[in-house]
Amino acid sequence: MRIVNTDDVTAQLSAFMAEREWEQFHTPHTLAKSIAIEAGELMELFQWSDDAPVAEVTGELADVLTYCLLLAAKLEVDPLQIVLDKLQVTGEKYPVELARGRSVRHDQL
Amino acid sequence: MRIVNTDDVTAQLSAFMAEREWEQFHTPHTLAKSIAIEAGELMELFQWSDDAPVAEVTGELADVLTYCLLLAAKLEVDPLQIVLDKLQVTGEKYPVELARGRSVRHDQL
Amino acid sequence: MRIVNTDDVTAQLSAFMAEREWEQFHTPHTLAKSIAIEAGELMELFQWSDDAPVAEVTGELADVLTYCLLLAAKLEVDPLQIVLDKLQVTGEKYPVELARGRSVRHDQL
Amino acid sequence: MRIVNTDDVTAQLSAFMAEREWEQFHTPHTLAKSIAIEAGELMELFQWSDDAPVAEVTGELADVLTYCLLLAAKLEVDPLQIVLDKLQVTGEKYPVELARGRSVRHDQL
């Protein structure tokens, strides 16, 4: 069994882009726009309903994730480490006692 | 050196959410909306300029990624595997010979 | 010459939706999602470039505006009056002397 | 009673921007991004619920509409006329007999 890790996937994405000479189009700005565009397509699956086919949701999520990994690589940050770093910040803004079972913003806790 | 992998991070996210009893708010629909909302905040950093401070971009990217990992977990798919699966599909739609150096949609190749 | 006003257009949109029995799908929530989805399609025209064909931009802008008018009607607010009301609020947050020639947020003025 | 029309509102927006020397920041590209960013803020009100306070929805809708009017002015198109033009196109793609009571895309009718 091969364990896929983010470095492997980023390397494959990078090779894919290099082959097609697409890196020239990739800047933090164009990648941020691309993430937002793909996020819109993901949300379109839920436009009229709270439910959507898993296969389609998976496909659109993959597109968002792809651009996220490309942006992380461009910024030279580890995509998983920054999630953990942010989780710690969020944990401080939303202490368990105050936040439990509530979906309000931290400034309304 | 500890290698962070997606299962670890997903487990930490899951524990964080369980502690705060926030899983009740997380459905594919609300997570898809959340991804789009955070993607909008990421893009806001580039509203008037092609450039943005790396630390701020990193912070917003982390928010998008967090919801992506939560959605992947909810769908019970591997977030890295679906990126690789999609890459193969994209590779077929954009053959190297036709796509090289061009940023057009596949139906215009 | 016929002057088009927002009431006329809203009435035509309303008749169009009634004919197709589509009002049942329109709530503030689904209309807000629809605005964001169409805004993503508008932005897609600028994904890789600062420029886009006017006709295509116009078409996507029309889609965003259509859902904005439907949402205003659903909320029973005048779409132009709320723009003017907000302009006054914005004017107070961004006084001319401080804001002139600067694209920063009001809390950074 | 004064009837507000889009030309009046666009003129007021234009004067507001000129006073602050903000027109320099407004291109179709930055306005399209701004529409998407504000649409994300509108949708944020519905992140965890199908319901949101009318006053807040109205305020965010006003922001989306403001940038839509600015973009229409920049493109030199009438914001209401393009909605009507698009409505005609949509009517042809979704004939009443086929589309009645259905929220599917036209290619699935």
Q: For chain B, list residues whose CB is within 8 angstroms of any CB belonging to chain C.
A: 33, 36, 40, 47-49, 103
C28-44 and D54-75 are packed helices; what angle lies between their axes, rounded to 10 degrees?
30
Give the gap in angstroms from C-alpha C11 to the nearest C-alpha of chain B: 30
Percentages (nearest 5) of helix, strand, coil residues in chain A? 70, 0, 30
Domain with CATH 1.10.287.1080 in chain D: 1-77
Which pLDDT does position A91 carry in this prediction?
A: 97
pLDDT at residue D1 in the model: 45
Q: Given C40, C49, C103, which is nearest B48 (Cβ)?
A: C103
Q: What is the pLDDT of residues C28-80, one digit of tens each?
A: 999 999 999 999 999 999 999 999 999 999 999 999 999 999 999 999 999 99
- Count the Cβ atoms, other than its own, within 10 Å of residue B4: 16
Nearest to B68 among A4, A50, A61 (CB): A61
- The answer to whether residues B65 and A68 touch, using CB atoms and an 8 Å cutoff, is yes
**C-alpha distances out from residue A72 to A30, A58, A68, A105, B12, Å:** 13, 21, 6, 27, 20
Residues of B in Cβ contact (< 8 Å) with C29: none
Positive or negative, the CA dihedral B66, B70, B71, B76 is positive
pLDDT tens by residue, D53-108: 999 999 999 999 999 999 999 999 999 999 999 999 999 999 999 999 999 888 88
Taking the CA of residue C61 and the nearest CA in chain D, the distance in Å comes to 7
Inter-residue contact C57 to D61 (CB < 8 Å): no
The two structure tokens encoding residue D96: 């009443």
Per-residue pLDDT tens digits of chain B, which is 109 residues long: 456 799 999 999 999 999 999 999 999 999 999 999 999 999 999 999 999 999 999 999 999 999 999 999 999 999 999 999 999 999 999 999 999 999 988 888 8
Q: How far apart are CA C108 and CA C93, in angstroms?
A: 11
**Residues in B touching A47 (Cβ below 8 Å):** none
Architecture of the domain made up of B1-77? Orthogonal Bundle (1.10)
C-alpha distance from residue B17 to each of A105, B11, B32, B106, D28 (Å): 15, 10, 17, 40, 41
- Is residue D71 within 8 Å of D27, Cβ to Cβ? no
CA A87 to mean position of chain CA atoms: 14
Q: Three-state DSSP class for D92?
A: helix
- What's the gap between Cα B39 and its chain centre? 9
> DSSP letter at C48?
S
The pLDDT-based confidence of C105 (bands split at 50, 70, 90) is: confident
Closest CA to A90 of D41, B23, B66, B3: B66
* Cα angle value D98/D103/D104 (rounded, 5°): 70
Question: What is the dihedral sign for C-alpha C66, A35, B18, A100?
Answer: negative
* 3-state DSSP assignment of residue D62: helix
Residues 6+ apart with CB under 8 A from C7: none
Residue in the block written with tokens 């600062």:
C50
Instruction: Give the pLDDT of residue B47.
Output: 97
- Chain A residues with CB-CB distance to C46 below 8 A: 33
Contact C63, A44 (CB under 8 A): no
Is-contact D50 C29, C-beta < 8 A?
A: yes
CA angle B4, B67, C36 (to 5 degrees): 150
3-state helix, strand, coil in chain D (%, to 5): 70, 0, 30
Quote the pLDDT of residue A43: 98
The verdict on ipTM greater than 0.90 is yes
- Report the 10 Å Cβ neighbour count for B16: 17
Neighbours of C76 (CB within 10 A): 8
C93/D43 Cα distance (integer angstroms): 23
State the sign of the Cα–Cα–Cα–Cα dihedral B73, B77, B81, B86: negative
